[in-house]
Amino acid sequence: MIVALGNSRSTDQTRRPIAIGNARHARLMFRPGVGLVSDGGAEMDILAVIVVLLLLLFLASWSSVRSYFAKGRLAGMEEATREVIRGIRSHFEVAGQDPPDHVVKAVEAISSFARSRSCEKSIHRYQTLLWTFGDAVGAACWRKGYETCQRKMSPRADGIRLELPMADLQEIAALAHLGFKKMMPNDRGIELARFGSEEHALAVTRAVERLEQAIPREHRPSGHSVARQVLIQHWWERKRA
């Protein structure tokens, strides 16, 4: 501790400030007529220390919160995935079927997942496994839905499913109605229904042939197509002659 006392007899010494404290860390200054004053260094050092401590506390809190959030997110993803896997297994068990191989492999990869020390890296790795799992389950769902729809849309053993253009269906319906009327004993109709051109007659006979081709061979009427072609050929050849 160094105490510097000024001489009251000297004018220069009375004006000179007197330092009280350690020579290297003087903190209090004695000024004549003012008294003891501080040089402000202590307050700035304390303030800097407090700011640094608060910054470290904030960084530590932020890191802790982020780690806690990442752990909770990963735990939620794992729980949701387990519920989805449980539902898929029960669905196949109720149907009495085994899951496809690619779905089984994806489920095994997720079930054998091991966390790493970093939760962020674990989340990225788990998301990659979930993408593979979702792709496998989506493909299996599409295949199952397609097969189910195919079974429901397929005709019965004694049925036939046929696809025809709208124009062909309209022509066949008109021919069926005309034939029905002509076969009724009480039909007294005198209206005439004729093909307007050779192209019209050929288009209608092709539509009827599509309908006949859908009939199994053992039940298919024979000779009808040839008879229609002969009628068309004879009539329009005579008109051209």
Q: What's the domain range around 170?
A: 166-240
Say if residue 202's pLDDT is above 80: yes
* Sign of the torsion angle spanned by Cα atoms 79, 81, 84, 86: negative
Residues 59, 51 contacting (CB under 8 angstroms): no
Domain membership of residue 60 (yes or no) is no
71 and 104 both lie in a single domain: yes
Between these two residues, 120 and 201, which has the higher pLDDT value?
A: 201
pLDDT at residue 21 in the model: 47
Residues 117 and 83 in one domain: yes
Q: Does 72 share its domain with 146?
A: yes
Whether residues 86 and 31 fall in one domain: no
Establish if 158 belongs to a structural domain: no
Q: Which of 107, 129, 153 is the last residue of a domain?
A: 153
Q: What is the pTM of this model?
A: 0.43
Assess if residue 97 is contained within a domain: yes
pLDDT, tens only, 96-135:
778 888 888 888 888 888 777 777 788 888 888 888 888 9
Are both 75 and 28 inside the same structural domain? no
Q: How many domains does the chain have?
A: 3
Domain edge (last residue) among 118, 153, 188: 153
Whether the pLDDT of residue 6 is over 80: the answer is: no
Q: Are residues 176 and 110 in the same domain?
A: no
Q: pLDDT grade, residue 40 (50/70/90)?
A: low
Last residue of a domain, one of 124, 153, 182: 153
Residue 50, domain member (yes or no): no
Residue 108 lies in a domain: yes
Residue 45 lies in a domain: no
Nearest of 63, 64, 76, 67 to residue 126 by alpha carbon = 76
What pLDDT was estimated at residue 177? Answer: 83
Asked whether residue 35 is assigned to any structural domain, the reply reads: yes
Are 34 and 85 in the same domain? no
Q: Which two tokens stand for residue 222?
A: 């024979």
Domain shared by 141 and 201, yes or no: no
Do 32 and 72 lie in a common domain? no
- pLDDT of 241 reads 64
- Comparing 12-21, 133-142, 170-179, 203-212, the range with the smallest average pLDDT is 12-21
Which of residues 109 and 41 earns the better pLDDT score?
109
Q: Is residue 57 part of a domain?
A: no
Highest mean pLDDT among 22-31, 189-198, 222-231: 222-231
**Are both 76 and 147 inside the same structural domain?**
yes
pLDDT at site 150: 80
